[in-house]
Structure 1
């Protein structure tokens, strides 16, 4: 089954890849790797903002992380000229969680992205990962995630 078919089964339609918000490129392809710049939490209704431990709970944060993963796949699709089936595996995610100093559930928040990628990609979605706190993130978003993918 193609990745696009699996996404459809999950009820997910990838958006167009978001444009960069500053002076950087959205991804770099080097050899068999695609390095995708940090994707901020946004959905069809706009930016997903807030601070975990103050404005948002873990479930809302995980939803924001899932939205980041969807944007990561949109960027990957663009990097692969529309062919997501060139994906070999997700290599690594680095997740940043906009959170209060006493919030310690960053891994549970970033699970929203990790769980989605495994559901959408199967074993190819399993990856190494970091989940860290940030005092603030661009535009006040709840989560930002960057990724490295291996492609054919």
Structure 2
């Protein structure tokens, strides 16, 4: 059986692929169901509050299997021409917060704007300036505010493994 990388076909939803955005309440999607429970809880509380403001959250990416993350990284290398450029947009499986279920990609733009304004109250912080869709849970942000953003993942010490 060929690896997901060599097959060049999008991995199945059981690996965390999200062919169509889902809601943060869609427990049938592995990308949502396998998120870290604390992140999922914060995301759902924020989505509920945003809905009261007329804003709907969609999950474009969440938990991913290492195989799916490797496939995404290979696709990024192909798209950007090198691993050095791809790493600005897609982490490797051993560094990705998505693989551990600690990151979620949120859309559409109205949801991202809502999170930019209100996410701190839920501990949801944008981590990378170049990825306005990528949020991670920082519980201390509720009291202290979100940490400064990295320009892109290459500045994040967690990516230096």
**TM-score normalised to structure 1 length:** 0.26
Question: Whose strand proportion is higher, 1 or 2?
Answer: 1
Question: Whose helix proportion is higher, 1 or 2?
Answer: 2
Q: Which has the higher contact order (CA 8 A, sep 6+)?
A: 1
Structure possessing the higher radius of gyration over alpha carbons: 2
**TM-score normalised to structure 2 length:** 0.25
